[in-house]
Structure 1
Amino acid sequence: MREVGRTRDVGYQIGVSRTVPHPAERVWRLLTSPGGLALWLGDGARLTPERGAPYTTADGTRGEVRSYRENDRIRLTWRPPGWSHDTTLQVALSGAGERTAVHFHQEWLADAAERTRQREHWKGVVDRLAAALEADRA
């Protein structure tokens, strides 16, 4: 029997999702804006929507874009300072009309403890994104 969150192909992984009462285009605009990127990638994050484009945040988190599909998903590598390994992170949108699900999925986590920490991290991220969308609507 395999441990929760451990796969044969991508090591430990985590997924966190939240459905928000906003159209996908609005959610995408926030996710890809400087303020939105700061919420999920970190302060100073700038993404070039091209495969292989590197990025670095103010705290030293770094990686590169693997794929970027407008209004759909961004897949990139993600390595915060102090980590000895890259992980793969994907943020994707799904839904229709005025309801959009925001999905964060991270693969290649080192172990169960890192998986647990990242699960809490991404829960906090979706909470902050949902709050930012609500504040923008007000």
Structure 2
Amino acid sequence: MPFLLPRVIKIVINPTLKALGTAELTELRTQIINEIQNRINADNNLQNQITLVSGSLVTEIQDRINTDNNLQNQITLVSGSLTTEIQNRTNVDNNLQNQITLVSGSLTTEIQNRISEDNNLQNQITLVSGSLVTEIQDRINTDNNL
């Protein structure tokens, strides 16, 4: 405190100002004590604010961690649901494909059976037609003979 040294020297050198110097020293002492108390109060206030902000930050960080965990849980849940849905759709697709294959096989068999039956029917028609031609010719011949 270099600014105090000249005052102290004045008080010591000039004894007539002793009373005034003592009053100044008392006032200076009071100011220093007040300043120290003000600094202590300001430090305590600052510490309280730091503690409050620190608590708020801890709460905010924990809230964000909880939010992130909730989002991760939701992502996991949705991912599981999507996996299940994809598997279900794959199963449905496979079932449809199997049914299409079965129906296609049945249709192919039915078509082959109908073609076969049509061929049999055509053969029978040809046979009956031939028999009719023969019958007609036989009757014509019989009629001519009579």
- Structure with the higher strand share, 1 or 2: 1
Larger C-alpha radius of gyration, 1 or 2? 2
TM-score above 0.5: no
Specify the TM-score bucket, using the shorter chain as the normaliser: under 0.3
**Structure having greater relative contact order (Cα 8 Å, sep ≥ 6):** 1
TM-score by length of 1: 0.24
